[in-house]
Structure 1
């Protein structure tokens, strides 16, 4: 979110309270996310079409997919470098679910605590702590909170243990206690979704 000089694909008017600062490793990311694989296949297919069938139409398609690929990887780089990093806890193994909390406030009015529960595809076990990086979904400028946020486990893009541990060390003991207390307020069995926390003097 903000060192504006190296941000191109994200909103540079906002700043993360705890930027991820995570380096994206393409081969790791492609193990967990299918979109970059499809984009790469499309790029190579358009190149083959240009060389074997039609230089004009294939060349246009190749250029389009090249731009899309460049934009995708630039966005992922910026997302994990500048996105908001929060700790998550694995709360279920069957199915595997991860809970992450944040405050959706835009900073100028009120507090809007939430817990987001997402499907988890990593190797972590029940109750294990996981680092995540999230982007926030916008809302009208007059609304004091974001509509949603989308945390992604950092292990989906980086498998360097030292870097993963550095992310975990960026979270305070208090932040883990807050997450655990908010999880207790969610009714079991757990399911994916965004859950508003109405206690803690929230503005919901």
Structure 2
């Protein structure tokens, strides 16, 4: 069901504390994500098949793939406009890794701080700050916290310097300090994964 924010593909019952408000640039996104490229190739292939071999079979495939492409791009648009935006810090050059923190609480009980370490393919160097936008993975309805979250660097979908700077400006100095402190809780050498933070009065 459509909510008053025009959301169709995301959970409309939750609202990010700091929505991304990032505009998705398709050509930028396709440099970092291969799925939309494959979807586009499949769409064009179905069109060629319809025009040269079988109009019925190819036509059906084309309309299905057209719908899949539309849903994919709608979801990406909503993800980066309404997803939860958090700052990240490049913590390793070899391999290139970025750390992002959040609280997985659903907002009605306790605090469940975590740090997510993910591979990074952008231009930022060691210790530099970047913006990210995350979606959260659901859990049992009775659970007070989300199961996981999946941050994506905003530069993977937008290369406008002014917009990227605006994202960084949306993070408070306190949030950067929290991230830096939580990174210190992670053992070296750094590796990919979700790491629970057991200090700061967490309920883990």
TM-score by length of 1: 0.98
Q: What per-residue deviation string (whole Å, max 9, x for no partner) do you get for residues 169-192 of structure 1?
A: 000000000000000000000000
Deviation (angstroms), 1:10: 0.2
- Aligned match of 1:189: 189
- Aligned match of 1:166: 166
Deviation (angstroms), 1:3: 5.9
- The alignment status of 1:46 with 2:50, answered yes or no, reads no
TM-score by length of 2: 0.98
Deviation (angstroms), 1:9: 0.2
Match runs of 1:69-88 below 5 Å: 69-88=69-88
Match runs of 1:6-155 below 5 Å: 6-155=6-155
In the alignment, structure 1 segments of 5+ residues that lack a partner are none
3-state SS, counterpart of residue 6 of structure 1: coil
3-state SS, counterpart of residue 109 of structure 1: coil
Count of residue correspondences? 203
3-state SS, counterpart of residue 151 of structure 2: strand
1:165/1:36 CA distance change after superposition, 3 Å: same
- How far apart, in 1, do the equivalents of 2:23 and 2:12 lie? 19
After the TM superposition, which parts of structure 1 deviate over 3 Å for at least 4 consecutive aligned residues? 2-5
3-state SS, counterpart of residue 133 of structure 1: strand
- How far apart, in 1, do the equivalents of 2:53 and 2:138 lie? 43
- How far apart, in 2, do the equivalents of 1:156 and 1:167 lie? 13
3-state SS, counterpart of residue 130 of structure 2: strand
Deviation (angstroms), 1:12: 0.1
Deviation (angstroms), 1:5: 3.8
- How far apart, in 1, do the equivalents of 2:12 and 2:156 lie? 24
- How far apart, in 2, do the equivalents of 1:88 and 1:96 lie? 13
- How far apart, in 1, do the equivalents of 2:169 and 2:124 lie? 17
- Aligned match of 2:203: 203
Deviation (angstroms), 1:197: 0.1
Q: What per-residue deviation string (whole Å, max 9, x for no partner) do you get for residues 101-144 of structure 1?
A: 00000000010000000000001000000000000000111000
Deviation (angstroms), 1:4: 3.4
3-state SS, counterpart of residue 152 of structure 2: strand
